[in-house]
């Protein structure tokens, strides 16, 4: 997806038709800003590639669970991929449909299973025999049959950061490939489960198609074996994980990626099955920026620091993954540029947002942290008793607060002290 929704006009960064400087002035900082046009553009790329094919798209809620963001996709006809009962509640509150929602995740609680069965979710992606046993028991209690797909671990290297690799033998996710056939037989024998599909997800921020094709080939071979055992597979879930451009990455275009995967599945004789895609980052990543204000410029013996009002509590990815996000001045100024580490006010040496960035800024200036729409606000915290940022959605020339900034008193409203 292009970054066209966030461009400079007369030296000032704009979100669609609204100045980012005016957004910071009106709503304060740190501030997450999303573009409805960018969300729609990315969705349309998936939808167009799936048109006329037996394929559906389920938005990975974990990437960005803001109700307004989810509602944009719900209005466009999206399905959803969830990993908790809380995310199911968000989908329904945002206008999504349970019957178009897939429930993934390695550690589903019995209460979450009951919630999802009562709502009528499309499918449970199950990751172990103990989970199958639990789901079968819960469904029996409720007098229901749970639709299930097994997440199979194809042991494919997605060539991504180890923290976001999910398809190797060493990862906690999925059923081991060599155990999958027996696990399917066990699932089919359970009276309150309805085996409907197969699922794999090999990682996140993947910038090549080859790992997907390797995983698809292994899964399709397994499907043939499973059906030889008398278990029918109606759909193939290829997961998500398609990367975006943060710096100099060159991931495939969304449409090219989707068509390549679907063509491979059809060429292998499985075109009669429905295919599920579960994108997250590639839908929302470059549809958002984080605005932050420079508090101090602090020269040092070895480094210069630009100390800003955003922190690892607002954007955890750099501290957690050493992830790169482009950082730019919101207003281009004719002042000397210097190399800075962009850091926050949290009392941790790991509280940094960017290292060695050439910036022409002065105290009080605004910075925009790019590609912050995915795994940004959703991973934020209240460490150091810091209220979480506000979120704004821009639609053309209008800006809407879609999540109000937290207040400090809210952070301990549920706490109590011992009686005297």
Over residues 128-148, the mean pLDDT reads: 97
Tell whether 118 and 176 lie within a shared domain: yes
Tell whether 177 and 122 lie within a shared domain: yes
Q: Contact 197/220 with Cβ under 8 angstroms?
A: no
Residue 1 pLDDT level (bands cut at 50, 70, 90): very low
Is 53 among the domain residues? no
Q: Report how far apart, in Å, the C-alpha atoms of 54 and of each of 149, 210, 262, 263, 276 are.
A: 17, 22, 9, 11, 9
- How many residues does the structure list for the chain? 420
Alpha-carbon span 84 to 104, nearest angstrom: 8
* Res. 167: pLDDT tops 50: no
Catalytic residue of the set 50, 123, 268, 347 = 347
Query: What percent of the chain shows pLDDT beyond 90?
Result: 92
Is 94 among the domain residues? no
Alpha-carbon span 143 to 140, nearest angstrom: 5
279 annotated among ligand-binding-site residues? yes
| Alpha-helical runs (H) found in 207-253 | 210-228
The C-alpha angle with vertex 80 and arms to 78 and 86, in degrees rounded to 5, equals 140
Q: Contact 288/369 with Cβ under 8 angstroms?
A: no
In sequence order, the β-bridge partners of residue 288 are 34
Is 43 among the domain residues? no
Over residues 188-211, the mean pLDDT reads: 95
Tell whether 113 and 247 lie within a shared domain: yes
Alpha-carbon span 410 to 401, nearest angstrom: 18
pLDDT at 203: 87
Is 126 among the domain residues? yes
Among 213, 243, 277, where does a domain finish?
277
Tell whether 329 and 297 lie within a shared domain: yes
Q: Report how far apart, in Å, the C-alpha atoms of 25 and of each of 19, 32, 71, 365, 396 are.
A: 10, 13, 26, 11, 18
155's tokens:
């042991």
Q: Report how far apart, in Å, the C-alpha atoms of 236 and of each of 40, 215, 398 are.
A: 25, 12, 40
Tell whether 135 and 161 lie within a shared domain: yes
280 annotated among ligand-binding-site residues? yes
Q: Residue 336's CB: how many other CB atoms inside 10 A? A: 8
Q: pLDDT, tens digit, for every residue of 184-193?
A: 999 999 999 9
Alpha-carbon span 371 to 389, nearest angstrom: 16
Tell whether 220 and 293 lie within a shared domain: no
Give the domain extent around 233.
105-277
Residue 166 pLDDT level (bands cut at 50, 70, 90): very low
105 annotated among ligand-binding-site residues? no
Is 371 among the domain residues? yes
Tell whether 269 and 327 lie within a shared domain: no
Among 233, 249, 277, where does a domain finish?
277
Tell whether 193 and 334 lie within a shared domain: no
Tell whether 220 and 290 lie within a shared domain: no
Among 252, 277, 302, where does a domain finish?
277
348 annotated among ligand-binding-site residues? yes
241 annotated among ligand-binding-site residues? yes
Q: pLDDT, tens digit, for every residue of 70-97?
A: 999 999 999 999 999 999 999 999 999 9
Tell whether 173 and 307 lie within a shared domain: no
Q: Contact 349/312 with Cβ under 8 angstroms?
A: no
Query: Residue 286 burial by CB count (10 A; 0-12/13-18/19+): exposed, middle or buried?
Result: buried
* Res. 159: pLDDT tops 70: no
230's tokens:
């008398």
User: Where residue 165 sits, what CATH number does that domain have?
Assistant: 3.20.20.10
Residue whose tokens read 């029996």: 140
In this structure, what DSSP letter does residue 292 have? E
Return the closest-CA partner of residue 149 out of 58, 35, 17, 51: 58
Buried b / exposed e over 176-209, threshold 16 CB at 10 Å, is ebebbbebbebbbebebbbbbbbbbbbbbbbbbb
Helix, coil or strand: residue 384: helix
pLDDT at 38: 98
CA-based radius of gyration for the chain: 23
Q: Contact 131/174 with Cβ under 8 angstroms?
A: no
Q: pLDDT, tens digit, for every residue of 330-356?
A: 999 999 999 999 999 999 999 999 999
Residue 4 pLDDT level (bands cut at 50, 70, 90): confident
Return the closest-CA partner of residue 274 out of 225, 230, 223, 221: 223
Query: Residue 294 burial by CB count (10 A; 0-12/13-18/19+): exposed, middle or buried?
Result: buried
299's tokens:
């020269």
Alpha-carbon span 139 to 142, nearest angstrom: 5
Tell whether 374 and 318 lie within a shared domain: yes
Our answer to whether residue 123 is catalytic in this structure is no
208 annotated among ligand-binding-site residues? no
Alpha-carbon span 236 to 275, nearest angstrom: 5
Over residues 292-321, the mean pLDDT reads: 96
User: Where residue 363 sits, what CATH number does that domain have?
Assistant: 2.40.37.10
Judged by phi (left if over 0) then psi (alpha if -120 to 50, else beta), residue 62 lies in alpha
pTM > 0.85: yes or no? yes
Is 88 among the domain residues? no
Q: Contact 103/124 with Cβ under 8 angstroms?
A: yes
Q: Contact 327/3 with Cβ under 8 angstroms?
A: no
Is 74 among the domain residues? no
Is 63 among the domain residues? no
Tell whether 259 and 155 lie within a shared domain: yes
* Res. 257: pLDDT tops 60: yes
In this structure, what DSSP letter does residue 61 have? G
How many domains does the structure of the chain reveal?
Answer: 2
375 annotated among ligand-binding-site residues? yes
């Amino acid at each position: 997806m292009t970054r066209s929704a966030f461009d400079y006009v007369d030296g000032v960064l704009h979100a669609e038709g609204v100045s980012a400087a005016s957004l910071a002035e009106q709503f304060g900082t740190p501030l997450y800003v999303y573009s409805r046009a960018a969300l729609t553009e990315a969705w349309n790329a998936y939808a167009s590639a799936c048109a006329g094919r037996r394929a559906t798209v389920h938005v990975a809620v974990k990437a960005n669970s803001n109700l307004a963001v989810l509602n944009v996709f719900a209005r466009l006809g999206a399905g959803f991929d969830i990993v908790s009962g809380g995310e199911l509640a968000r989908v329904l509150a945002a206008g999504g449909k349970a019957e178009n929602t897939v429930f993934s995740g390695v550690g589903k609680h019995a209460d979450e299973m009951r919630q999802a069965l009562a709502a009528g979710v499309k499918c449970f992606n199950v990751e172990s025999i103990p989970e199958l046993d639990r789901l079968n028991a819960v469904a029996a209690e409720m007098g229901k049959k749970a639709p299930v797909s097994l997440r199979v671990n194809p042991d494919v290297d997605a060539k991504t950061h180890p923290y976001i690799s999910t398809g190797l033998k060493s990862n906690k996710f999925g059923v081991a490939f060599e155990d999958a056939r027996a696990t399917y037989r066990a699932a089919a024998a359970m009276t309150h489960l309805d085996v409907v599909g197969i699922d794999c997800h090999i990682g996140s921020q993947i910038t090549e198609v080859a790992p997907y094709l390797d995983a698809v080939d292994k899964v399709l071979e397994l499907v043939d074996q499973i059906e030889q055992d008398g278990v029918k597979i109606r759909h193939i879930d290829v997961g998500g994980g398609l990367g975006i451009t943060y710096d100099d990455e060159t991931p495939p275009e969304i449409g090219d990626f989707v068509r390549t995967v679907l063509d491979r599945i059809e060429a292998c004789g499985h075109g009669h099955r429905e295919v599920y895609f579960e994108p997250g980052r590639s839908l929302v990543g470059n549809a958002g920026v984080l605005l932050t204000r420079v508090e101090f410029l602090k020269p040092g013996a070895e480094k210069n620091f630009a100390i800003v009002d955003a922190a690892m509590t607002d954007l955890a990815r750099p501290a957690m993954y050493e992830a790169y996000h482009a950082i730019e001045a919101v207003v281009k100024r004719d002042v000397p540029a210097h190399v800075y580490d962009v850091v926050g006010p949290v009392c941790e040496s790991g509280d940094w947002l960017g290292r060695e960035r050439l910036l022409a800024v002065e105290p009080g200036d605004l910075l925009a942290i790019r590609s912050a729409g995915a795994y940004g606000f959703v991973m934020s915290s209240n460490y150091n008793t810091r209220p979480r940022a506000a979120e704004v959605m821009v639609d053309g020339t209008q800006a809407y607060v879609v999540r109000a900034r937290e207040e400090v008193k809210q952070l301990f409203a549920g706490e109590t002290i011992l009686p005297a």
